Amino acid sequence: MKKIFAANWKLFKTPAETRSFFSKFKEVVGQATGEVVFFPSAISLEAAVETTKGSAIKIGSQNCYVQAQGAFTGENSAQVVKEIGGTYILIGHSERRAIFGETDALIADKVAFVQSLGLTPMLCIGETLAEREATHTFRVLETQLHLGLAKADKSKPIVVAYEPVWAIGTGKVATPAQVAETHTDVHSILTKLGFTAPILYGGSVKPDNAGELIKQAHVSGFLVGGASLEVDSFIKIATV
Ligand code: PGA
């Protein structure tokens, strides 16, 4: 399975900061050992696409609505992402689920809609600390995959990002053993559901833990937040 290194910029970086990042990152992206994808915030998307034109860097948006256009004030259109040259859409990130109330049913519609446009959904799943401590991790991930992929097309590309909620932005990375065990579970759930997809790990990935994590079973790359905001730290992660 090819490796994918994805950067989730959340609500960081203005268009000017985006241009300045990519003018430097374009110089080093050739060293990456897999595909490199960036998810800038919506208003910086066009700056990202323009500055990375002609390079191997892929761009996507962090969210979209389930229709291309209409009376949906404040939403983002995947059709527009496609038109400006984006190829991925992040779906169901834990911040979308927890802060903006996204349900598995809405996430399933988004996955199907994104695929119908020929874009690749990157579906995020992950358990909270309470769920892990109650030994419900497997059940939570199985439910999120079962419901989130309910309308997905098995013949079209999809990427899954496993991000334990307790490891996101906390500096508390899952141990290599936890990553190996959980990715093996995610792989087996996907196989049972009939899907083949790269499984990325996310949650406090840094240059000093990426080398060990990439060696674990069924880890095809990373979804990186904080450490993707600087050229130096992200390229170190993308070259493991
Ligand atoms: P983090 O974020 O790397 O800052 O923990 C990961 C994510 O939210 O995708």
Catalytic residue among 35, 102, 131, 163: 163
Write out the CATH class of domain 4-237.
alpha beta
**pLDDT at position 1 over 90:** no
**pLDDT at position 172 over 90:** no
Q: Is 36 helix (H, G, I), strand (E, B) or coil?
A: strand
| Predicted confidence (pLDDT) per residue in 105-157, tens digit | 999 999 999 999 999 999 999 999 999 999 999 999 999 999 999 999 999 99
**pLDDT at position 228 over 90:** yes
Residues 87 and 60 sit within 8 Å (Cβ to Cβ):
yes
Examine the residue annotation and report whether 93 is marked as an active-site residue of this protein.
yes
| Predicted confidence (pLDDT) per residue in 51-90, tens digit | 999 999 999 999 999 999 999 999 999 999 999 999 999 9
Please name which of 168, 86, 80 lies closest in space to residue 124, comparing C-alpha atoms: 168
**pLDDT at position 158 over 90:** yes
Sequence spans of domains, the chain = 4-237
**pLDDT at position 205 over 90:** yes
Ligand 1: which residue has its CA nearest to atom 7?
225
| Predicted confidence (pLDDT) per residue in 27-36, tens digit | 999 999 999 9
Residues in contact with ligand 1 by the CB-under-6-Å rule are 8, 163, 168-169, 202-205, 223-227
pLDDT band at 186 (very low <50, low <70, confident <90, very high): very high
Rounded to whole angstroms, the Cα distance separating 41 from 63 reads 9
Residues 201 and 179 sit within 8 Å (Cβ to Cβ):
yes
Burial environment of residue 171 by CB neighbours within 10 A (0 to 12, 13 to 18, 19 or more): exposed
